[in-house]
Amino acid sequence: MHDIIRDLNWRYATKKYDSSKKIKKNDLEIIKESLRLVPSSYGLQPLKFIIVNSTELREKLKPISYNQSQITDASHLIIICSYININTSHVDDYLSSILRTRDIAINEIEAFGNSMKTTIDKMKNEEKYKWNKNQAYIALGQLIHTCASLRIDATPMEGFNAKEYDKLLNLSDQNLSASLVVPIGYRHKEDKVQFAKKVRKSQDDLFITL
Ligand SMILES: Cc1cc2nc3c(=O)[nH]c(=O)nc-3n(C[C@H](O)[C@H](O)[C@H](O)COP(=O)(O)O)c2cc1C
């Protein structure tokens, strides 16, 4: 079996974490770099990743996450936040970053910049947030796979009250909203779900070959 398939079969949405086991600093750095390298529409990266270390804060987040025990028991808690709004100044920052990184002339990317600005200008505010939130799911997929390769457990979570998160963490003032929550760490030996067979559709059901 290929390593990728082995990793993907090893992982599962962990329900119970062993709170005594902590992720090593080196592994956390790999996870952070993996999130930095996440692709996004146009490359705009309208995301922030909050790593909540504070136990006190995690205790407060638990009741606004349907009391899911992973919030407090996992080694680390990552909140994937999306920008609420995105505008031409974000595009300009991005264009400057391209110029700096690739050492090219502005005229080489002017058309690209204008096309991004036109697309964004046409969007209503709700559409912008929806677009930015879509980028969070790309980060989620990459995060889960990276963790699985490192034999670190992860739980993708939509089961939380985003409005309450935004309020508690003062996110709106920073043009952010909590899109997804991902506890990461090590499965508890008593988590029965780890022994359950994966339930997935067959390839015949999933693929259409034309
Ligand atoms: C976007 C998303 C949100 C999810 N939210 C939760 C959640 O709040 N709590 C939870 O325990 N599992 C959550 N899950 C886990 C799914 O139930 C799980 O991935 C699915 O049943 C497949 O099982 P597996 O990941 O163990 O293979 C979520 C998964 C995804 C992708």
pLDDT tens digits, 18-62: 999 999 999 999 999 999 999 999 999 999 999 999 999 999 999
Residues 147, 52 contacting (CB under 8 angstroms): no
Does 175 fall in a domain? yes
Amino acid found at 209? T
Q: What's the pTM?
A: 0.97
HSE (side-chain half, CA atoms, 13 Å) at 154: 24
In-domain check, residue 57: yes
pLDDT digits (tens, 9 = 90+) for 144-190: 999 999 999 999 999 999 999 999 999 999 999 999 999 999 999 99
Residue located nearest, by CA, to atom 9 of ligand 1: 157
CA of 94 to the centre of ligand 1 (A): 33
What pLDDT score was predicted for residue 78?
98
pLDDT digits (tens, 9 = 90+) for 135-146: 999 999 999 999
Which residues line ligand 1 at a C-beta cut-off of 6 Å? 12-13, 15, 68, 155-159, 198
Q: How far is the CA of 144 from the centre of ligand 1 (A)?
A: 11
Answer yes or no: is 32 within a domain: yes
Write out the DSSP string of 99-141: HHHHT--GGGTHHHHHHHHHHHHHS-HHHHHHHHHHHHHHHHH
User: How many folded domains does the chain comprise?
Assistant: 1
Whose C-alpha lies nearest to ligand 1, atom 4?
A: 157
With respect to residue 103, please indicate whether it lies within any of the assigned structural domains.
Answer: no
Q: Is residue 109 part of a domain?
A: no
Q: What is the pLDDT of residues 64-109, one digit of tens each?
A: 999 999 999 999 999 999 999 999 999 999 999 999 999 999 999 9
- Domain membership flag for residue 146: yes
The domain that holds 157 is classified in CATH as 3.40.109.10
Domain that holds residue 128: 3-92+123-206
